[in-house]
């Protein structure tokens, strides 16, 4: 009988790939997880879908500033690989030529399939179905990332975008209801922003040991602080520990999930 070689699956290249919408989201929502992974010697990757420049012609900062700040933040977080997709911030109304929300959905998914196949992450992290904060670009990134994780594992889909890669687990960053309640009580935000009941959260990661690194990364986005964006509230150390000291995630098995059905460590 002819001997057949077992099919060899290539090694993952990154422990975690975080897919985000805008420069600063990597630090704000997943900075602790990324710094913790880097500290443990586990390679990380970040794909950011827009350069943070507004598609409607307005701008939060001079051209190129937000991309430069993003690069500095990734260095602080020890991110191994990164990419920025060629879309613009859709703003509050999800509009504008070149914006992420105006781009054909399949094109965005194909871009992410290519990134997943090149970066070969074990786990992919993105926003929950409400975009963690309700921003339309975040919701778009959630949907496109889920579709891309599935498509990336199917060899006959987009074969020109690289060899198939099956992600083991998906982690959706979310805002716990208790935290949103606290933030509303101190006037940081309205009480009706999206949130997830605390007892539905799979993992609440205590990232306080990496809070100084996370904060240093967030501070790289100086133009956001200059314009008084909501991140400025975390200049207060008490609010910083409350708002940024824990990162909360929902688990979804990926197409390469282990057969035992267990929840892998993040």
Q: How far apart are CA 38 and CA 15, in angstroms?
A: 10
Minimum separation from the CB atom of position 262 to Zn ion (A): 32
List of residues 6+ apart from 3 with CB closer than 8 A:
none
> Looking at beta carbons only, is 21 or 77 nearer to Zn ion?
21
Residue 22 as a binder of Zn ion (CB under 5 A): the answer is yes
> Looking at beta carbons only, is 122 or 133 nearer to Zn ion?
133
Residue 21 as a binder of Zn ion (CB under 5 A): the answer is yes
Residue number with the shortest CB distance to Zn ion? 22
121-127 and 169-174 beta bridge pairing? parallel
> Looking at beta carbons only, is 15 or 144 nearer to Zn ion?
144
Residue 221 as a binder of Zn ion (CB under 5 A): the answer is no
Minimum separation from the CB atom of position 22 to Zn ion (A): 4
Which position among 15, 19, 23, 25 is part of the footprint of Zn ion (CB under 5 A)? 25
Minimum separation from the CB atom of position 4 to Zn ion (A): 48
Minimum separation from the CB atom of position 219 to Zn ion (A): 17
Residue 53 as a binder of Zn ion (CB under 5 A): the answer is no
**CB of 44 closer than 8 Å to CB of 227:** no
Size of the site for Zn ion (CB under 5 A): 3
Write the burial class of residue 32 (CB in 10 Å: 0-12 exposed, 13-18 middle, 19+ buried): buried
> Looking at beta carbons only, is 21 or 151 nearer to Zn ion?
21
> Looking at beta carbons only, is 211 or 231 nearer to Zn ion?
231
DSSP secondary structure letters along 159-211: GGG-S----SEEEEEE-BHHHHHHHHHTTSS-TTS--B-GGG-SEEEE-GGGH
Cβ-count burial 239-266 (b if 16+ within 10 Å, e if not): ebebbbbbbbbbbbebbbbeeeeeeeeb
Binding site for Zn ion (CB under 5 A): 21-22, 25
């Amino acid at each position: 009988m002819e001997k057949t070689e077992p099919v060899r699956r290539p090694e993952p290249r990154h422990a975690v790939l975080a897919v985000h919408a805008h420069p600063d989201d990597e630090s704000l929502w997943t900075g602790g997880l990324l710094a913790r992974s880097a500290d443990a010697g586990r390679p990380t990757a970040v794909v950011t879908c827009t350069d943070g420049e507004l598609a409607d012609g307005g701008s939060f900062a001079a051209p190129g500033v937000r991309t430069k700040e993003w690069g500095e933040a990734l260095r602080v977080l020890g991110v191994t690989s990164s990419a920025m997709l060629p879309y613009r911030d859709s703003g509050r109304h999800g509009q504008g030529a070149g914006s992420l929300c105006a781009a054909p959905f399949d094109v965005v998914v194909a871009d992410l399939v290519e990134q997943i196949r090149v970066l070969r992450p074990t786990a992919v992290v993105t926003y929950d179905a409400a975009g963690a904060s309700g921003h339309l670009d975040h919701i778009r990134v959630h949907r496109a990332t889920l579709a891309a994780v599935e498509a990336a594992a199917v060899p006959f889909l987009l074969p020109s975008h690289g060899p198939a890669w099956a992600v083991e687990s998906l982690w959706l960053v979310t805002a716990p209801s208790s935290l949103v309640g606290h933030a509303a009580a101190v006037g940081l935000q309205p009480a009706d922003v999206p949130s997830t009941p605390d007892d539905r959260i799979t993992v609440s990661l205590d990232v306080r040991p990496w809070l100084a690194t996370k904060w240093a990364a967030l501070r790289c986005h100086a133009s956001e602080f200059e314009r008084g964006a909501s991140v400025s509230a975390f200049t207060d150390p008490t609010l910083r520990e409350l708002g940024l000291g824990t990162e909360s995630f929902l688990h979804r098995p990926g197409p390469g999930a282990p057969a035992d059905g267990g929840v892998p460590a993040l």
